[in-house]
Amino acid sequence: MKRTALIQVLGAVAYGEWKAYEGAKARAEEAATDEERLAYRKVAAEELRHHKGFRGRLEALGADPERAMRPYRRPLDHYHAGEPGSPVEEAVWSYLGEGVADDLLQWLRRVVDAETAAFIDTVIADEEEHEAMATAELRSLLCGSRQRQEAGRAAQRMALHMLDSGRATPLPFAAFVRLGRPLDLVGAILGGHLRRMRAIGMGPFGLPLPAGLARAS
C-alpha cells in the first residue's frame, strides 16, 4: 500500500515540476531584460531536471510515469490556468507557490526511501534559490499600502483557487495521507504559510497583522 501511495505522490510531484518548467519557460520568453531572461531560463532548466529525475524514480519503482501523473493533470492544469496577471498578484502566487513546494519536499524526503530522499535533497537546493528569487521580486513590488492590499487579496484568492483545484480530482491527493506523517505535512505547509506571510508584513491568507506584530516584522 505504501509503494502505491509513493508512486501516486511522486506522480503528483513530477507533474508539478513539469508545470513549473512550463511556467518558468514562459516567463523567460516574456522577460523584459536579458538578465531576467537568463534567470528564468536557469529556473526552467532546473525544473526540467527535477521533472526528469522524478520520472526516473518512478521508473526505478517499476511504475509508468505517464500513468502516475495522469490523475493530477486536471487539478494542476486547473490551478496553473488561474494564475493572475498583475505583477503584484503574480509575485504573490510565485512566492507562496515556491514556499508550498519547499515545504512539501521537506516532508517528502522524510517519508521516502533513501535513494529518492537523496535526489530530493538536490531538488530542495534548487528550490530554495527559486524561493529566494521569488521573495526578492515580491519585496521589490511592495512599496506602498495599495500594493500590500493587492498582495493580501492575491493571497486570499490563491488559497481559494488551490482548494477549488483540489476539488477537481480529490481522491488522488489521499495518497499524501497514506504515505505517512500527514500531520507533519499539514503543519509544515500551514506553518510555512504563516511564516512567509508574516515575513512580508501580513497575517494568514493576506489578513492584516495587528499593529504590534506588523512593526516587529
Closest by Cα among 198, 86, 69 to 153: 86
Q: How far is 46 from 17, CA to CA, in rounded Å?
A: 9
Counting residues of the chain whose pLDDT is more than 90, the rounded percentage is 47
Q: Is the pLDDT of residue 217 over 50?
A: no
In the structure grid, which three cell numbers stand for residue 171, read together?
481522491
Helix (H) / strand (E) element for 108: namely helix 87-108
Give per-residue pLDDT as tens, 57-104. 999 999 999 999 999 998 889 888 876 678 898 898 899 888 989 999
Give the torsion sign (CA, 216, 152, 148, 28): positive
Counting residues of the chain whose pLDDT is more than 70, the rounded percentage is 89
Query: Rounded to two decimals, what is the model's pTM?
Result: 0.85
- Higher pLDDT: 144 or 4? It is 4
Tell me how far CA of residue 209 lies from CA of 4, 130, 188, 202, 212, in angstroms. 42, 26, 21, 5, 8
212 residue type, one letter: G
- Higher pLDDT: 111 or 145? It is 111
**Which residues, including other chains, have CB under 8 Å from residue 52's CB and lie 6 or more apart?**
none
Give per-residue pLDDT as tens, 167-190. 655 556 788 888 888 888 888 888
Q: How far is 24 from 43, CA to CA, in rounded Å?
A: 6
Helix (H, G, I), strand (E, B) or coil at 171: helix
Q: How confident is the model at residue 206 (pLDDT cuts 50, 70, 90)?
A: low
- Complete domains list, the chain, with CATH: 2-216 (1.20.1260.10)
